[in-house]
Amino acid sequence: MRDPYRREILWLASFQGIGISRFARDFRKNSMRILYISYPLLTVSQDSAGGAEQVLWTLEREMSRRGLTTTVAASAGSRVTGELFLTGDPCSRPDDFERRNGEHQERILEWIGQPADAAAFDLVHDMSGSFWPRAEEIDVPVLATLHLPRNFYSPHLFENVPANVTFNCVSQTQAQMFGDLSALAGIVMNGIPLDRFTPNLGAEKRTGLLWLGRVCEEKAPHLALEVAARARLPVTLAGQVYPFSYHQKYFENEIAPRLKEVTSASFLPSPSLQTKLQLLREAQTVLITSQAEETSSLVAMEAAASGTPVITFARGAHREIVCHGKTGFLAAEIDDMVHALRRLGEIDPEVCVRHAREHFSSAMMAESYAALYQRVLSSKLKLAPAET
């Protein structure tokens, strides 16, 4: 059984305005325990290609550094800073999602339901996008981060939301999509580990265009090849083709043929972290050609931290992340992207780096989540019945 005074201490910390980081330091015997739940199909590590996995890895590392006790529930093969609870093997087929997701959730629920102290958490932070509808089966507050545009979620997921669930968005653009959600507690912009990046402020020669990300239809790397062909500039596509049939078919049908036609184009599958950092540092610009109303863009943040301008479509949260004419250019169509290539000399790498440090640091993201954890716990714990 949990310490009977635990909830009172947490509420006192919230009432007195004590930050979560300070609370974790001052009350080590009652150190806050956070369970992070990952997407069930993929692994979590510093080399993850998926945005949600990258954010989870980065946030969990920051919170662990701040003294919180962190655990990540994830697929086998994951590597995290704190404790790791394995829920099964990642799968390679999209038609296996229901089975794998069910396995993932059942193992988590069984584990949380154990009476042992090892399974006692103060807060569950759901990064999976699918666990929170089952939050009513546990007596722990659940914060669910919404990573995707509203139309990517089934409408029924937001009907009869469990009382112990609170949501957060990752951008103002996304929050507008979820404006009717009563359990929406706030916005925490994604952050990146700036300590990884050595910016190119002009000493290193820049050559060619770079497209970086998951190779799939919605990210539209074929448009980056079109821009490069029209501008007659070399381009590198670097990213992972997930082992899902629809991703692989897209690569075979739309990317492979174009790579043969555009002689100055090259493809680097699943680049290592060091390779990615080098590519970002050496590129003239990063092209972001996504056709989705993106709610965030880690690639745009990473480019800025590298001192590299971004050219992207003016849609979704890209309008919040890229400062037109200062850290890159926002385009309405392909012609605008090609034209923007002629203006790259207007972008100052130091301005890009300063913007990244002021807005995109993982430390800032962690502090924002610490404050959000505090608000969630104070609101949920005030309503909780006293433990005996």
pLDDT tens digits for range 312-344: 999 999 999 999 999 999 999 999 999 999 999
Distances (CA, A) of 224 to 66, 179, 331: 40, 33, 13
Please tell me the CATH code under which domain 194-359 is placed.
3.40.50.2000
The domains of the chain are located at: 6-191+362-383, 194-359
pLDDT tens digits for range 7-54: 333 333 333 344 444 443 433 334 789 999 999 988 999 988 889 999
* Confidence band, pLDDT 50/70/90 cuts, at residue 244: confident
* 125/108 Cα distance (integer angstroms): 12
Backbone angles phi, psi at 22, to 5 degrees: -65, -40
Distances (CA, A) of 94 to 28, 42, 75, 142, 242: 43, 11, 15, 27, 10
* 63/46 Cα distance (integer angstroms): 15
pLDDT value of position 119: 53
* DSSP SS3 for 138: coil
Please tell me the CATH code under which domain 6-191+362-383 is placed.
3.40.50.2000
pLDDT value of position 96: 85
pLDDT tens digits for range 171-193: 999 999 999 999 999 999 999 99
- What residue has token string 């799968």? 91
pLDDT value of position 23: 42
pLDDT, the chain, mean: 89
pLDDT tens digits for range 140-165: 999 999 999 999 999 999 999 999 99
pLDDT tens digits for range 44-102: 999 888 899 999 999 999 999 999 999 999 999 999 999 999 999 988 676 788 899 99
pLDDT value of position 2: 37
pLDDT value of position 263: 86
* Mean pLDDT for the stretch of residues 347-356: 98
Domains 6-191+362-383 and 194-359 share a fold: yes
- Sorted by sequence, the CB contacts under 8 Å of residue 61 that are 6+ apart come out as 80, 81, 193, 362
pLDDT value of position 14: 38
- Sorted by sequence, the CB contacts under 8 Å of residue 116 that are 6+ apart come out as none
- Sorted by sequence, the CB contacts under 8 Å of residue 65 that are 6+ apart come out as 81
Query: Between residues 356 and 116, which one has the greater pLDDT?
Result: 356
- Sorted by sequence, the CB contacts under 8 Å of residue 382 that are 6+ apart come out as 11
User: What's the pTM?
Assistant: 0.88
| DSSP string covering 55-109 | HHHHHHHHHHHTT-EEEEEE-TT---SSEEEE-----S-GGGHHHHHHHHHHHHH
- Report the side by side order of strands in the sheet with 310-313: 265-269, 235-240, 209-214, 285-288, 310-313, 328-331
